[in-house]
Structure 1
Amino acid sequence: MSTPAYDAGRLALMLNELRLPTIGRLWPEFAERSDKEGWQATRLIGALLEHELAERAKRRIERHRAESHLDPTKTLATFDFSMVPMVSKAHVMALATGDSWLEKGATALLFGPPGAGKSHLGCAIGHALIDAGYRVLFTRTSELVQKLQAARQSLQLPSALAKLDRFDLIILDDLSYARKDQAETSVLFELIAERYERRSLLITANQPFSGWNDVFPDPGMTVAAIDRLVHHSTIFEMNVESYRRRTASDKQNSRRRQSSGDNHQQGATTMTG
């Protein structure tokens, strides 16, 4: 029995119908190489499928990174662990794999003053998790509170919380800036309660737990929120001087040294002249 022949146009239509664009792009080159080198059919099919799957994974990661709203510059490669010696790099790298803590719906809490690198570290973990195949959302806490409050007013809060469920990790940045006098932050408690032991949160905050009474509408809700967050949690205390302040200070000192050197050189030139 002779093997049926397929012209290129028909193959292209079938591959397009099956949504296999990578195979559609590569098969002529691979088929020619297969004919020349005498590949078995399984090798040809396997090679094409491997490339298709690799491209799909790449596109999926690109989509997940775009939807995450993570700062593309804040990665583990650009995070200076020497500036926060109290943070274990090994511990962070373990979190970046995601396996154990995301499956438990556990929480990561990053405390420290403004400029300590909390947002950078949170973003860096988020990028690594996307590379590992997880879905991540980065958002300022106050912005998410406003969106959830709008959803509550339109009787859509359960639906809004359900949509957030597709993310394996939500990074709530600057929780301390969410104030109960700016929005009805009880929706934030509902998010925490909804995700408890199911989906993970990573929270950055300038204030320790003792300062969270300014965030939630009443002390009882504050206690309940903290209780849920710390039950399965990793806590990083990043109590260091602001990176921005250190950078500005270093630049100022550099200018002073340069100015001093120029004045010294100018004085020497005047004396020799």
Structure 2
Amino acid sequence: MTARDVDIHTLPGMLTALRLPSFHKLWAEIATRADSEGWPAARFLAVLAEYELAERDMRRIRRHLNEAHLPAGKTLATFDFKALPSLPRPRVEALAAGDWLEEGGNLIAIGNSGTGKTHILSAIGHALIEAGHRVFYTRTSDLVQRLQAARRDLVLEAALAKLDRFDLIILDDITYAHKDQAETSVLFELIARRYEYRSIAIAANQPFSGWDQIFPDKAMTVAAIDRLVHHATILEMNAQSYRQRAATANKRARAETPATTSNDNQNKGAD
């Protein structure tokens, strides 16, 4: 086949068959510009290829964000670093680059309630997805229930294998999963399976000394913590909670309001 044998009118159909939607959408517009500016064929193809790759990347990010189930709005741009001076932004941005995922490293955020643990882990998750990684966020108790059901149905191995496709699993509120409420040995199986293979990020309201309430026995607790901290970055996030700061600000505002009103009344009386 020679160039003269190609029917240009079949190009849209061929691009559809090749699954090149950006080529299909933009080729005529870019071709007109290329003809008017005298582009060589290589530049014309390169411009179209750049658009196609950019669109594929956007679709991948949207797809991976949908499957990640990350809390909405919790990104690095919306995190108040000034409220937590012990957590410098450059350190978090370095974690968001994701180098620690290559060796199956873990990330553990420990601190009292309301200090932004979920926010910071979710923000790192967002950044990792944009960088090409796959992330899954879940409350620990929800995942434990799912894995328990899988064990009961004799499909636990398949359920764990399905989670293997994620480079990072974010387990929120791990200390809310109590051994007297649910048999959390399945959680240990997840931790042991991912050890030095895939990464886990954990948000915990209690220090490690309080984790004996999570697992069925002390030996399992020690073994789980040992695996998690072996290749881990630990973020200490103890500070006044967001809700306490908001309550303090509201209280201060209410305290200032009567004084302002009183001054206004005095001024009116003077008039």
TM-score, normalising length: structure 2: 0.96
Aligned to 1:137: 136
SS of 1:11's partner is helix
SS of 2:5's partner is coil
Aligned to 2:216: 217
Deviation at 1:92, TM superposition (A): 1.1
Distance 2:32 2:229 in 1: 60
Deviation at 1:267, TM superposition (A): 3.1
Structure 1 window deviating more from structure 2 (128-137 vs 259-268): it is 259-268
Aligned to 2:265: 266
Which residues in structure 2 correspond to 1:163-174 (within 5 Å)?
A: 163-174=162-173
Kindly tell me: are residues 2 and 212 of structure 1, through their superposed partners in 2, closer, same or farther at Cα, counting changes over 3 Å? closer
Which residues in structure 2 correspond to 1:193-232 (within 5 Å)?
A: 193-232=192-231
Deviation at 1:2, TM superposition (A): 5.3
Deviation at 1:82, TM superposition (A): 1.4
Which runs of 5 or more residues in structure 1 are unaligned?
Answer: none
Kindly tell me: are residues 2 and 117 of structure 1, through their superposed partners in 2, closer, same or farther at Cα, counting changes over 3 Å? closer
Distance 1:20 1:183 in 2: 49
Aligned to 1:103: 102
Distance 2:131 2:20 in 1: 23
Which runs of 5 or more residues in structure 2 are unaligned?
Answer: none
SS of 1:46's partner is helix
TM-score, normalising length: structure 1: 0.96
Deviation at 1:174, TM superposition (A): 0.5
Deviation at 1:11, TM superposition (A): 1.1
Distance 1:146 1:189 in 2: 13
Q: Does 1:6 align with 2:7?
A: yes
SS of 1:109's partner is strand
Aligned to 1:235: 234
Which residues in structure 2 correspond to 1:1-273 (within 5 Å)?
A: 3-8=4-9, 10-99=10-99, 101-270=100-269, 272=270
Look up the equivalent residue of 2:75 and give its one-letter code.
T
Distance 1:196 1:243 in 2: 33
How many residue pairs align between the two structures?
A: 270
Deviation >6 Å, runs of 4+: none
